[in-house]
Amino acid sequence: MENSELNKKLCENFCSYYKPSKDSELACMGFIVIKKLIESGREIPFDKSGQVSDIAAGEKLIRNMCASCAFYESDCDFILQEGKALPCGGFILLELLIAGRIVTIDDVKKII
């Protein structure tokens, strides 16, 4: 999947921080993980309907993925505001996928 197609499916639908005019080379770690899952042959549903987030999955992602993200230390509102801001779209989708047992935290760890 090309970055522009993934931007459309992931960022435009899940990320409140996404701006189409921003540098398309910038990507959160969630975007990178989703892209690598797709490249490895995993089927990733981008449908939000009927899916419920999972606090435990979110905590696992914070511990295992967020610290590896280029935005973590100074540009991630979610981390800087200690969960009071929305996470990135990649985080949201991965949390839903883990909660729905479509991917596991071990799948994420293997990529990071």
Predicted local distance difference test score (pLDDT) of residue 20? 78
Q: Which amino acid is at 96?
A: L
Nearest to 9 by CA among 87, 96, 97, 90: 90
User: What's the whole-number average pLDDT of the chain?
Assistant: 89
pLDDT at 80 over 80: yes
pLDDT at 37 over 80: yes
pLDDT at 51 over 90: no
For the chain, give every domain's residue range: 3-111
pLDDT at 81 over 70: yes
Mean pLDDT of 28-41: 96
φ, ψ (nearest 5 deg) of residue 5: -70, -40
pLDDT at 21 over 80: no
pTM to 2 decimal places? 0.89
4-34 core/surface letters (b: 16 or more CB in 10 A; e: else)? eebbebbbeebbebbeeeeeeeebbbbbbbb
